[in-house]
Amino acid sequence: MRHTMIANLSGWMSRLGLVMAAASLLLVSAVQAADIKDLTEKLPRAYIGEFLWDGDKTVQNVVITFDQVRARNEQTAEAFGCGAYQVGRHVTKIKVRMFVRQPDLQVEIFEMSPEGNGSFETGGSHRGNLSDDLQNIDAQWTTTASGQRGQLHLHAAASAACEPAASL
């Protein structure tokens, strides 16, 4: 009889362990969903800063705004918007698409459809990090064809428009 009680208790404990494991997976999934929701709601909609090609001292003023931010899945947010790069009086407007991965806040930013500069490089992406407080983006651009690199440093702004940084 004692053996039967131990066997029944063991079976019950096994089932309890499975139920707890399943519940914890659901809880983890819910927590991740809440995190991605928080990210999409709290991500600043405007960033300003600068870009410099490695080995070049020419500062390019940068403005990026996001008009749409959404959860792509439980681990990735996606933001769409526009931006502008300004060097002296020369301005190039672009379309921007950014991915932010939870929970490490790694970013990848793609730039498309440049207007204003025929030599503007869009064949590559910025890869880097969004700060824990979502206020700063530090990323490295790598050109796909040549491997040429540059550094992007942005900080959140209360508001901005897809215009040159000097006009804000």
Output 127 or 30, whichever has higher pLDDT.
Answer: 127
Residue with tokens 């990210």: 39
Residue among 145, 40, 150, 155 nearest 98 (CA): 40
Mean per-residue pLDDT, 95-106: 96
Q: Are 135 and 156 in contact (CB under 8 A)?
A: yes
Q: Are 102 and 129 in contact (CB under 8 A)?
A: no
Q: Mean pLDDT over all residues of the chain?
A: 83
162 — pLDDT class (breaks 50, 70, 90):
confident
Cis peptide before 44 (omega within 30 of 0): no
Mean per-residue pLDDT, 72-95: 95
